[in-house]
Structure 1
Amino acid sequence: MTFASDAVAGNQKNSGRAHFVLVPLMAQGHTIPMTDMARLLAEHGAQVSFITTPVNASRMAEFINCIGAIGLPIQFVKLHFPATEFGLPDGCENVDMIKSKDLFKNFIEACAALREPLTAHLRAQIPPPSCIISDMTHWWTADIARELGTPRLTFSGFCGFSSLVRYIIIRDNLLEKVEDENELINFPGFPTPLELPKARCPGNLSVHGLDQIRKNIYEEEIRCSGVVMNTFHDLEDLYIDSFEQISGKKVWTVGPMCLCNQDSKTVAARGNNASMDEAQCIQLLDSMKPGSVIFVSFGSLACTAPHQVVELGLGLEASKKPFIWVIKAGDKFPEVEKWLAEGFEERVKDRGIIIRGWAPQIMILWHQAIGGFMTHCGWNSTIEGICAGVPMITWPHFAEQFLNERLVVDVLRTGVEVGVKGVTQWGDEQKEARVTRDDVEIAVSKLMDQGEAADEMRMRARDFGLKATKALKKGGSSSNNIDLLIQEMGRKTSG
């Protein structure tokens, strides 16, 4: 059964618009940029159908209400998610609700079961879909696109740099015959020098039973009509152009999409409930000197082990710098709370702010008190740091995060490595501290202290922040790309 929100008061009045169908992977890091994409497309004159499920829609309730109040032509379509039919707990409708990575295959198969109800919904739409933009993991949406005679574009959430590496890995099967996780991999055709150990390459996550699904995903990527990326041309033009040349696919760079949701209502709607409201956070930041605070946050899926949390905290304390620290430790959070209560929180109370759970990250990053961002290098967080013009300390965990680190440190030269000594795969328990308190103290000092190298890094970060804002303004490269995308997909449908 499907339901639509009241954000669109009927399809007939929008019958002259190009109609985009957005199908995100139900994971915060994938859904959030898709909500930004929906808003951008609608603000540029397109009609949007945003496909979700009841649990995920409830998480987005503030965003949905905000879009309705603004009156943008976005329809939120809630499809029943068959969790129990595929061996998942009832209501398990988001990747962050999966208790074991062994259930990830079940989750992806449950997503694929949305094909028939989604097809039925789209067949009834006026105007019909002009284009389907779906997460690359939703290979099954390609069948819907072919059935409806509409183009399908893929969205991965990767930047151009990481997308190009991933494409070369798949094209040449670079990881298949490499048994040693520490063996260095080279990437034929990559436009700048790069080598990484196998363990740090994207696509190296071991999940039983995913081989056929991976094959389906890759085959449909080859057949897709193009790729949408949350990046902008002035940030990484060499890698975007190389991706187009090597893959033969048109790349639509429409980012940084996070800039479209900077008003407080929609920023709040992008996350879950925070343990500290925005007013409290702003009050604390306002009391600190400009550029003096280091912000520490590791995204929605990385749950740091308690012993690593302790090392991180002691490193922040030793740095003597003011900090805002977002802590997540999953089921082992009580162990962290016990350590915090044993004296740490009291010792740093005059210069340290601890937020449990979700935090208003964009609002924090844009505050003048923030002088650095310690990040897990997920692309959403990385591009948000770039937009805010803030230099970064890179602490990658898994997936393409090690590639994003190389982009920030080696190409953009707006960050320093904390010195991660191993990979913490999603879903695996971390056995030992990968980064010591000394590593943290040294990295914070490099980033936050005065000196020619640090000053140059800050200057470059500010420059990229200005370029990011320019890209989405009228006449900017990404703004123009959004207009061209709407025009081209509209022509394909009307033609």
Structure 2
Amino acid sequence: MENQGRNRKRLVLVPGPFQGHLTPMLQLATILKSKDFSITIAHTQFNSPDSSAHPDFTFLCIPDGLSEEEVRNPDLIAVVLRLNVNCESSFRECLTRGTNRMEPGDKICCIIYDALVYFSEAVARDLKIPSVVLHTISAATTIVRPILLQLKTQGHIPIPDSMLQVPVPLHQPLRFKDLPLSNFGSLDYFLEVVALTYNLRSSLAIIFNTIYCLEESPLAQLHQRYQVPIFPVGPLHKLAPTSAVSLLQEDTGCIPWLDKQTHNSVIYVSLGSVAHLNQDQLSEMAWGLANSKEPFLWVIRPGSIPGSEWIESMDEEFKECVKDRGCIVKWAPQKKVLAHEAVGGFWSHCGWNSTLESICAGVPLICQPCFGDQKVNARYLTHEWRVGLELEGEIERGTVERAIRTLMKEKEGEEMRQRVFDLKHKFDVSTGDGGSSCHYLSKLVELLTSL
């Protein structure tokens, strides 16, 4: 396989080491492999992907120098900063000396890197290798995030309560409370990452896992700001053949359970791969689901409830109440779940991958953003595209029950279901032959081939 690859142009792809970043980068790698490029995935030791699931790729492990204590650090922003400091020299050495089946002199035509691992651009610039950056968040988040630096300079961050509901100038429908601030660790560290992530110095182009018809305006603004080609080639999961990218073990046993449910009857609940719940939030979510009387599939990650291994702390009365119409799993094959005809709604954290997957499946959402870009996505889902209901404030069982019934049983929910179905159709057209995503993908391949 590798000998055949020597006759092709080699791309080195550097994913960010979190599920929401690994998934789209590996999907992009799969697409570019199908376009006859030879693919190397250069990844950190921290949260490294499963190389056996991708036998057509070469995997290059970058020593990241993280201690056990740093790996366990809940301050993910501090981890990102440390990775970028530690990995620059080791990545440069990997590319110049050749390790992990990368031969010395093996010609690399381009480095495609996640914006989160910005050390890659510095190495590419030093080695005079062309680079392209992949943003795994929406164009809307990307265009608004630099505002955070201005607000900090003006003394408006942390955002005062009096400004939370105020619209952000030139960025409707966002309010100041929707700005993509992180909940993890130091605010100064987070703003440092923002500044470094958006300091595009030498990269030739920007790739977005988005779709032109969904984000035409922010994409145009970004092109004006950066003056480089921009390629909205998403949703990447629609263009890439199925490939295993999950860091967590998927429980496919929920699919036979879904097979027994009626059409559009199930609310699917998953708050992503990072968020945590305290006991009060868990209880309010649980009883809101129980009181709604609707069947549900609920993903609760092991370790996501502080003080519990999994759901042993959950109310036994709740478990008994919902045993015939609830299914709780540790992790689900999400794209299969959303595509299942029994699923009629998605209670989501509104990460960008989940947002795109839900729209692609024609499933409306209940939006519970936890931090960062999720807040921007939730606001667009509820007030721009109007295919979701947002849960605001503290989670309370009565609010949860009403939201589920609105989405699953009432006219408002049916109208959202029709709007998301219309968006799904636009996505299908855009990712089909002659559609915008295929057009931009062809242009990207032309650029990479020319290097």
TM-score by length of 1: 0.81
Is the deviation greater in 221-230 or in 180-189?
180-189
CA separation of 1:100 and 1:14: change in aligned 2, threshold 3 A: closer
1:489 to 2:448 alignment: yes
Structure-1 residue corresponding to 2:312: 337
**AA at the equivalent of 1:32:** T
Q: CA deviation at 1:33?
A: 1.1
1:444 to 2:404 alignment: yes
CA separation of 1:289 and 1:222: change in aligned 2, threshold 3 A: same
CA separation of 1:208 and 1:169: change in aligned 2, threshold 3 A: closer
**AA at the equivalent of 2:52:** N
CA separation of 1:307 and 1:204: change in aligned 2, threshold 3 A: closer
Structure-2 residue corresponding to 1:426: none
Q: CA deviation at 1:410?
A: 1.1
Q: Identity percentage over the alignment?
A: 28
Within 2, Cα distance between the matches of 1:169 and 1:479? 33
Contact 1:155 1:227 survives alignment (8 Å): yes
1:254-269 equivalent positions in 2, closer than 5 A: 254-260=233-239, 263=242, 266-267=243-244, 269=245
Contact 1:18 1:486 survives alignment (8 Å): no
1:165 to 2:144 alignment: yes
Contact 1:133 1:154 survives alignment (8 Å): yes
State the number of aligned residues. 441
Q: CA deviation at 1:148?
A: 3.0
Moved over 6 A (4+): none
Q: CA deviation at 1:31?
A: 1.0
CA separation of 1:344 and 1:212: change in aligned 2, threshold 3 A: closer
Structure 2: state its 5+ residue gaps: none
- SS of match in other structure, 1:337: coil
Q: 2:356 pairs with 365, 379, 383, which one?
A: 383
Contact 2:264 2:342 survives alignment (8 Å): yes
C-alpha offsets along residues 188-241 of structure 1, whole Å, 9 cap, x if unaligned?
544x453223x7433686527737953761563254322111111122222212
Within 1, Cα distance between the matches of 2:276 and 2:230? 33
TM-score by length of 2: 0.89
Contact 1:133 1:153 survives alignment (8 Å): yes
Structure-2 residue corresponding to 1:454: 413
Structure-2 residue corresponding to 1:244: 223
Structure-2 residue corresponding to 1:5: none
Contact 2:146 2:194 survives alignment (8 Å): no
Within 2, Cα distance between the matches of 1:445 and 1:401? 23
Contact 2:143 2:222 survives alignment (8 Å): yes
CA separation of 1:202 and 1:46: change in aligned 2, threshold 3 A: farther
Q: CA deviation at 1:320?
A: 0.6
Q: CA deviation at 1:260?
A: 4.2
Structure-1 residue corresponding to 2:60: 77
RMSD of equivalent CA atoms = 2.7
1:71-110 equivalent positions in 2, closer than 5 A: 72=56, 74-84=57-67, 88-89=68-69, 92=71, 97-101=72-76, 103-104=78-79, 105-110=81-86
Structure-1 residue corresponding to 2:33: 42
CA separation of 1:121 and 1:309: change in aligned 2, threshold 3 A: farther
Q: CA deviation at 1:303?
A: 1.2
CA separation of 1:248 and 1:299: change in aligned 2, threshold 3 A: same
C-alpha offsets along residues 30-83 of structure 1, whole Å, 9 cap, x if unaligned?
1111111110111122222111245644xx43xx43432xxx4x2221233322
- SS of match in other structure, 2:61: strand
C-alpha offsets along residues 330-376 of structure 1, whole Å, 9 cap, x if unaligned?
44225842324x221121011110112x2211111110000000001
CA separation of 1:54 and 1:467: change in aligned 2, threshold 3 A: same
Structure-2 residue corresponding to 1:431: none
- SS of match in other structure, 2:156: coil
CA separation of 1:151 and 1:189: change in aligned 2, threshold 3 A: farther
C-alpha offsets along residues 452-490 of structure 1, whole Å, 9 cap, x if unaligned?
x32221111112223323333333221222221121122
Structure-2 residue corresponding to 1:147: 126
Within 2, Cα distance between the matches of 1:219 and 1:378? 20
Q: CA deviation at 1:393?
A: 0.4
CA separation of 1:110 and 1:208: change in aligned 2, threshold 3 A: farther
CA separation of 1:121 and 1:240: change in aligned 2, threshold 3 A: farther
Contact 1:18 1:47 survives alignment (8 Å): yes
Within 1, Cα distance between the matches of 2:128 and 2:352? 32
C-alpha offsets along residues 75-129 of structure 1, whole Å, 9 cap, x if unaligned?
2212333223xxx448x3xxxx434458424344333343333332579566522
**AA at the equivalent of 1:23:** V
Contact 1:201 1:399 survives alignment (8 Å): yes
CA separation of 1:235 and 1:362: change in aligned 2, threshold 3 A: same
**AA at the equivalent of 1:166:** R
Structure-1 residue corresponding to 2:174: 194
CA separation of 1:215 and 1:407: change in aligned 2, threshold 3 A: closer
Within 2, Cα distance between the matches of 1:225 and 1:202? 28
Within 1, Cα distance between the matches of 2:240 and 2:259? 22
1:478 to 2:437 alignment: yes
